[in-house]
Structure 1
Amino acid sequence: MFDTMTITKAGASLCAALLALLLAGWASDGLYSVGTASHGEEHVSGYPIEVADAGSAEPAEEVVEVAFADVYAAADAGAGEGLWRQCQACHSLEQGANGVGPYLYGVVGRAKHSVDGFNYSDGLRALEGDWTPENLNGFLEAPREYAPGTAMAYNGMRKVEDRANLIAYLATIGN
C-alpha cells in the first residue's frame, strides 16, 4: 500500500508546506512590522496627531445622578410588568410558590430572607432589614455586589428607570 515513492512524496509535500509557511511568515514580518531602534536612533512608529491645548478644550459634560427616590416616584408599573418577564424564569408572583428563587408576592416591604421553605444563600442571610424600594434597587443593580455570596446568577439591571419600573410593578403585587 505504501511504497517508498509514496512516502517520499508525502515527506516532500510536508517539507514544501512548512517552507511555504516559513516564507509567508518572513514576508509578512517584512511588510507589517514597524521595526525597532536601529544603530542607536530612536524609532517611533505611527503618525503624530496634533491636539488642542488641554486648557482650551471644552469641559466634558457632567453626568447628573438623579436620586432613586425621584425616579421611583415617577415609575411606571405597566412598564415594570414587561420587565418582570426576565425574572419569572426563577421567581413566582404566587404566594408560597418558590421556584429557583423565592416567590416575590409582597416582596416590597417584606423582611429579607423571610420566605418560609426557601433555602437562602449565606450572602442573603447576612443582610438585615426589609426589602425597601431602595434596597431592592441596590440588589437589582448588582446582586453580587449588594449581597456577596448570593446564589442569584442574574448580572443586574443597568438602567435606574428599569429598576424603578420593576419595583413599582412588584409593589402592586400583594401589597
Structure 2
Amino acid sequence: MNCITIFAPSTLESGHIKKLAAGLLIVILRLSPLFFPFAVAAQQDDGERLFRQRCATCHSVDPGQNKMAPNLHGIIGRAAGSLEGASYSGAMRSSRMTWDRQSLDSFLAAPSQVVRGTRMTAGVPTAAQRAAIIRYLESQSPD
C-alpha cells in the first residue's frame, strides 16, 4: 500500500471529511476577529441595531429623555426604579436590584419572572441578542 492510496478521498469515510471540515470552520470563525477587525465593530453596531429594533419604542439612551419607559443612559450601576422623573411600577421601585450585566441579562430574558408586576412585558429570548444589547448599553454610560 502506498501513501496515495491511504489518503485518497475514496478511502476516507465521509464522516471523517465532515468532521475535519467542521473543525476547520470552527477554527476559522474563532480566529476571524484577528484577521477581520471590522467583524468586531459589526457586532458592536449589532447591539445598537437590536436596541433600536427591540427597545427604542419605549426606552431612550439620550440623557434626560424618558419615553413611556425610563431612560437607559448610564443604567449600569443604577438602582432599579430610581431614575428621577421616570414612571415605574411599584414592583420595579421596590425590587432592590442594581443593574449590572447579570441582572440585565436575567431581566431581559424574562422580565415578569424576575420582577413580578413589572410593566415590561417584552423579553429578549436569544442570549446573543441580550449580550449585544447589554454591550451597547454599557457603551452608553456617562463615564
Q: Please classify the TM superposition score into its range, dividing by the shorter chain length.
A: 0.5 to 0.7
Q: Normalized per residue, which structure has more helix?
A: 2
Is 1:126 the counterpart of 2:94 in the alignment? yes
Which of 93, 112, 131 in structure 1 is aligned with 2:80? 112
Give the TM-score normalised by the residue count of structure 2. 0.65
Whichever residue aligns with residue 88 of structure 1, its letter is A
Whichever residue aligns with residue 159 of structure 1, its letter is T
Percent identical among aligned pairs is 36
- Structure 2 CA distance for aligned equivalents of residues 152 and 112 of structure 1: 13
Whichever residue aligns with residue 131 of structure 1, its letter is W
Give the TM-score normalised by the residue count of structure 1. 0.54
4+ aligned runs moved over 4 Å, structure 1: none
- Structure 2 CA distance for aligned equivalents of residues 129 and 144 of structure 1: 14
Contact 2:77 2:98 survives alignment (8 Å): yes
Aligned to 1:148: 116
SS at match of 1:93: coil
- Structure 2 CA distance for aligned equivalents of residues 160 and 81 of structure 1: 16
Aligned residues: 100
Task: Write the deviation string for residues 46-66 of structure 1: whole angstroms up to 9, x where unpaired.
Answer: xxxxxxxxxxxxxxxxxxxxx
Unaligned stretches of 5+ residues in structure 1: 1-73
Deviation at 1:122, TM superposition (A): 1.5
Deviation at 1:105, TM superposition (A): 0.5
Deviation at 1:173, TM superposition (A): 0.6
Contact 2:108 2:130 survives alignment (8 Å): yes
Is 1:97 the counterpart of 2:75 in the alignment? no
Unaligned stretches of 5+ residues in structure 2: 1-39
